[in-house]
């Protein structure tokens, strides 16, 4: 009763869809309270590299075609006009753009003409699980990414481009798309490792010191595993289809890297499913823990009752008021050591009871049966 139940941040009503039923397909209706779009651009090739923020979509579009690879990143989806304008300038399909602003898509890969549209979900764990959607368009020489919120999953890739580290600057846009996907997927590892620790703590709590709130925590962690599952499994399918299918703009040598990425997803699924099975068992473990606790409580009650009931009964007998004028009526009352006899009788009974429970192993330490 005391203490407020902390609300888990991943609540069901988050599933809401912004576009109303029956609306014209391709309607762009972002959440007005979402952060407003911020456009930044990185362009590079085997030789050059530029990075800048763009005030308008037009400024970004102006750089198209001048570099080997152009990467336009939009953080925040809170303005329908900007999003639509970007869609027009870069020739993005309306159905894909609708998915970008309805930020509860499953991970997926779709082809619209010569463009590949990839949706992937990003996970972060601060003090709770946060999931954001990333929409990515891959054209021949550009990658356009839409992030629900400004996350930091892309930072290592930016660094690699800036410092011209590794192969990235020598390769094409599809390798950039891979590098971004890989960075997002690898960011699941620390999240899952954190959940591993939480789960371990929860196991200890469940087995060693279960409280009324433990069941809430188990239920809550299971729900978050479901959320993660809904993010990772479709990502596996999506990356799998990139490897298997013949998609435009994705070259055979990049597929080798996507295969590595797929491998990581399989590992993540492995970890998550192991957690889920263990989490599923915990409720059962909890139930046995409280049943054991009940047994302990009942034992105390039974031991106390079993010892004191006979004693009280004996005391009750010698509290009866039979007239002792008849010699057969309670002669003990007049014995010289009657009282000591009665106390001794009581002590004997109590000792017998305690011995019985001891032999039954009810005093935990020895043996349970």
The footprint of a second copy on residues 138-167 (CB under 8 A) is 153-157, 159-160, 165-167
Q: State in angstroms the smallest separation of the CB of 53 from a second copy.
A: 21
How many residues of this chain interact with a second copy, rule: CB under 8 A? Answer: 137
Taking CB under 8 A as the rule, does residue 223 contact a second copy? yes
Residue span binding a second copy (CB under 8 A) among the ranges 15-23, 29-37, 64-72, 73-81 = 15-23
Nearer to a second copy, 80 or 215 (CB): 215
What is the SS3 assignment for 275?
A: helix
- Judge contact between 207 and 290, C-beta under 8 A: no
Taking CB under 8 A as the rule, does residue 337 contact a second copy? yes
Candidate list 29, 49, 203, 241; residue touching a second copy; CB under 8 A? 203
What residues numbered 174-193 form the site for a second copy, per CB under 8 A?
179, 182-183, 186-187, 189-190, 192-193
Candidate list 9, 36, 263, 355; residue touching a second copy; CB under 8 A? 263
Beta bridge partners of 110: 117
Taking CB under 8 A as the rule, does residue 56 contact a second copy? no
Nearer to a second copy, 33 or 291 (CB): 291
Taking CB under 8 A as the rule, does residue 290 contact a second copy? yes
Structure tokens at 183: 């960075």
**157, containing H or E segment:** helix 155-162
Those residues with Cβ within 8 angstroms of residue 67's Cβ, 6 or more apart along the chain or in another chain: 43, 44, 45, 48, 50, 141
Candidate list 43, 210, 235, 249; residue touching a second copy; CB under 8 A? 210
Those residues with Cβ within 8 angstroms of residue 369's Cβ, 6 or more apart along the chain or in another chain: 360, 361
What is the SS3 assignment for 337?
A: coil
Candidate list 6, 305, 347, 358; residue touching a second copy; CB under 8 A? 305
What is the SS3 assignment for 88?
A: helix
In terms of residues, how long is the chain? 369
What is the SS3 assignment for 53?
A: strand
Distance of CA 340 to the CA centre of its chain: 68
């Amino acid at each position: 009763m005391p203490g407020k139940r902390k609300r888990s941040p991943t609540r069901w009503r988050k599933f809401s869809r912004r576009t109303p039923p029956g609306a014209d397909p391709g309607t762009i209706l972002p959440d007005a309270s979402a952060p407003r779009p911020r456009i930044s651009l990185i362009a590079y090739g085997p030789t050059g590299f530029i990075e800048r923020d763009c005030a308008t979509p037009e400024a970004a579009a102006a750089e198209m075609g001048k570099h080997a690879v152009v990467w336009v990143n939009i953080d925040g989806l809170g303005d329908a006009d900007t999003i639509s304008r970007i869609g027009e300038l870069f020739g993005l399909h309306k159905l894909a753009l609708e998915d970008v602003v309805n930020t509860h898509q499953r991970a997926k890969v779709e082809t619209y003409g010569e463009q590949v549209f990839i949706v992937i979900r990003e996970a972060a764990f601060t003090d709770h699980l946060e999931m954001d959607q990333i929409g990515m368009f891959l054209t021949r020489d550009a990658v356009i990414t839409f992030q629900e919120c400004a996350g930091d999953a892309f930072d290592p890739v930016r660094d690699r481009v800036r410092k011209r580290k590794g192969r990235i600057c020598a390769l094409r846009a599809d390798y950039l798309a891979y590098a971004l996907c890989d960075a997002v997927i690898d960011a699941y590892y620390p999240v899952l490792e954190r959940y591993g620790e939480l789960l371990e703590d929860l196991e200890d709590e469940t087995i060693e010191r279960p409280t009324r709130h433990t069941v809430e925590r188990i239920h809550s962690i299971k729900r978050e595993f479901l959320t993660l599952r809904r993010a990772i499994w479709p990502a596996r399918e999506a990356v799998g289809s990139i490897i298997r299918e013949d998609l435009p703009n994705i070259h055979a040598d990049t597929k080798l890297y996507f295969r590595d990425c797929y491998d990581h997803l399989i590992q993540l699924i492995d970890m998550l499913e192991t957690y889920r099975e263990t989490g599923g068992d915990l409720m059962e473990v909890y139930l046995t823990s409280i049943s054991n606790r009940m047994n302990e409580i009942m034992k105390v009650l039974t031991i106390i009752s079993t010892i004191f009931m006979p004693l009280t009964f004996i005391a009750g007998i010698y509290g009866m008021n039979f007239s002792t004028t008849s010699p057969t009526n309670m002669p003990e009352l007049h014995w010289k050591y009657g009282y000591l006899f009665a106390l001794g009788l009581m002590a004997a009974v109590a000792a017998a009871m305690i011995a019985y429970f001891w032999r039954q192993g009810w005093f935990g330490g020895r043996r349970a049966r």
